[in-house]
Amino acid sequence: MSSSPRPGLERKIGPLQATAINMTQMCGIGPFVTIPAMVVTLGGPQAMFGWLIGAVIALADGLIWAELGAALPGAGGTYVYLREAFGVRTGRLMPFLFAWSAVLFIPLIMSTGIIGLVQYLGYLIPGVADDGGTTTLGKVIGLGVIALIVLALFRKIGEIGKLTTVLFGIMLFAALSVIVAAFTHFDGAQAFAFTPGAFSFDGGAFWAGLGAGLIIAIYDYLGYNTSAYLGGEVRDPGRTLPRSIILSILGIMSLYFLLQLGVLGSVPLEELKNATSVASTVLEQAWGTGAAKVITVFIVIAAIGSVFAGLLGGSRVPFEAARDKVFLPVFAKLHPKLNLPTAGVLTMGAIAAIGSLFTLTAVINAAVTVLVLIQSLAQVAAIVVLRRRRPELERPYRQWLYPIPTIIALLGWVYIYFSATWLSIGLSVGWIVLGVAAFLAYAKAERVWPFGPKGIQESFAGATEGNGQ
């Protein structure tokens, strides 16, 4: 399979590293801080089913990523898919809007890892966090952690792949430790004590809270697509990308369900609802304070690994856009020795730092709504458009049972989007409108569509439409 001929990024990431990158990004601090919120939102132990429904949506969406990633394995993931799918009609508009939005929502999602990380540091260091959230000291520590992560990203991709594999091992150890600790004093009756009438269609707690619960669940599953963002640096992407995406979703789904079930059966419901570091509580009850503190350190490191993997993948989006002259030229420059997109890493690190100063719930809602609007729904359209318009495109992987998973993903994303707060929905629409205005100003200055030729070059095997005009 041929891909973009432009030199720069090196294909050094293998199947194990790609899967490790995805899973490390997925299971950072997310489930450790959102399990209590999930229980509150869904009204009790029935929260465990929220994780399963979220996994179905994530898997359906993952199968979209798998086909698109295998067929179009370039740096930036969605940026490439939207460019190839929509460039023939709307020129650079859709890839521009994605790059415009990704520079916001990717680092915002990463900032939630820092917020959760600081919450767990509060178990180890007095004064870092309290019942009201992160203290000033905690915010300063969070900013310092982001600075260290950005510095750690300044290394060659081969070294990063090895480092991420180590971080993946730490994450797996931390999650499995909490699961084992929970099941050492597991109360099945407590875990399955569903709220009476919870599943009633007439105002049952489960259905009433499902939309908001799925926002939490999807937030925790996000990251299964990180290897696709690194498509220009993956070896044998036609095989590696689909496998890394599907295996990471199935693996994390199993971990999350066991983690939620174990916590429900080991921590009393009222205590769980108010917990700020629930994993540490589970560990302390099972093995004592000393062991709890040691494993909490591993949880913090896992959170760092998640942010590291997310910023790694996200930084490639503005890089690819800038190489197409769709984004600011500074983002197209690679570090002269390390072959990494310097401006992308630094910019996303800065936005993640700003996001870490806000509350966890506010950042999750804002990031997820923007992501759904310009990435998830757009990719649903992209896979349909490419199947119809470019049947000759080489597809090493074709979505199983197409179009059923695509339809499930579409319905799930629409439901999740309209379950968000109206403020978040308004902000997401406003951000896209602002992006359209920015694109029109750019297009007029560059004299491209709608003020000139479309200027999109299809770059992958099977392209037959030249410059897309």
Q: Residue 446 burial (CB < 10 Å; 0-12/13-18/19+)?
A: middle
The per-residue pLDDT for 247 is 96
Cβ atoms of 160 and 309 within 8 Å: the answer is no
Name residue, tokens 């990471």.
Answer: 248
The Cα 103–Cα 317 span in angstroms is 8
Q: Are 444 and 451 in contact (CB under 8 A)?
A: yes
Displacement of CA 438 from its chain's centroid (Å): 25
Q: Which helix (H) or strand (E) holds 173?
A: helix 157-184
Is there a contact between 355 and 364 (Cβ–Cβ < 8 Å)?
no
Q: How many Cβ atoms are within 10 Å of 455's Cβ, its own excluded?
A: 19
Give, as one character, the DSSP assignment of residue 330.
G
Judge if the upstream peptide bond of residue 391 is cis by omega within 30 degrees of 0.
no
Q: Supply the pLDDT for residue 318.
A: 92
The pLDDT value recorded for residue 459 is: 67
Is 313 strand, coil or helix? helix
Torsion-angle region of 462 (φ positive above 0: left; ψ -120 to 50: alpha; else: beta) = left
Determine the pLDDT at residue 156. Answer: 81
Q: What is the pLDDT of residues 236-254, one digit of tens each?
A: 999 999 999 999 999 999 9
Q: Compute the radius of gyration of the chain from its Cα atoms.
A: 22
Find the distance separating the first CA and the last CA of the chain, reported in whole Å: 24
User: In this predicted model, what pLDDT tens digit does every residue of 356-384 receive, in sequence order?
Assistant: 998 888 898 889 999 998 999 999 999 99
With beta carbons less than 8 A apart as the criterion, state whether 87 and 454 touch. Answer: yes
What class has domain 21-446? Answer: mainly alpha
Q: What is the pLDDT of residues 7-53, one digit of tens each?
A: 567 888 999 999 998 998 888 788 888 899 999 999 999 999 999 99
φ, ψ (nearest 5 deg) of residue 2:
-95, 150
Q: Where are the domains of the chain?
A: 21-446
Residue 363 phi/psi, 5° resolution?
-70, -40
Task: Report how far apart, in Å, the C-alpha atoms of 19 and of each of 228, 391, 429 are.
Answer: 11, 29, 33
pLDDT-derived band of residue 464, with 50, 70 and 90 as boundaries? very low
Given its phi and psi angles, is residue 253 left (phi above 0), alpha (psi -120 to 50 degrees) or beta? alpha
pLDDT tens for 404-424 read: 999 999 999 999 999 999 999
The pLDDT, as a whole number, for residue 133 is 66
Q: State residue 457's pLDDT score.
A: 63
CB 134 within 8 A of CB 113: no
> Which range among 54-58, 274-278, 435-439 shows the weakest confidence by mean pLDDT?
274-278
pLDDT for the residue numbered 465: 37
For 169-183, the pLDDT digits (tens) are 898 999 999 999 999
CA–CA distances in Å: residue 181 to residues 175, 225, 259, 368: 10, 30, 10, 32
Share of the chain above pLDDT 90, in %: 67
Overall average pLDDT of the 153-160 stretch: 83
pLDDT at 456 over 70: no
Of the pLDDT bands very low, low, confident and very high (cuts 50, 70, 90), residue 2 is very low
Asked if residues 57 and 218 have their Cβ atoms less than 8 Å apart, the reply is yes
Q: What is the pTM of this model?
A: 0.88
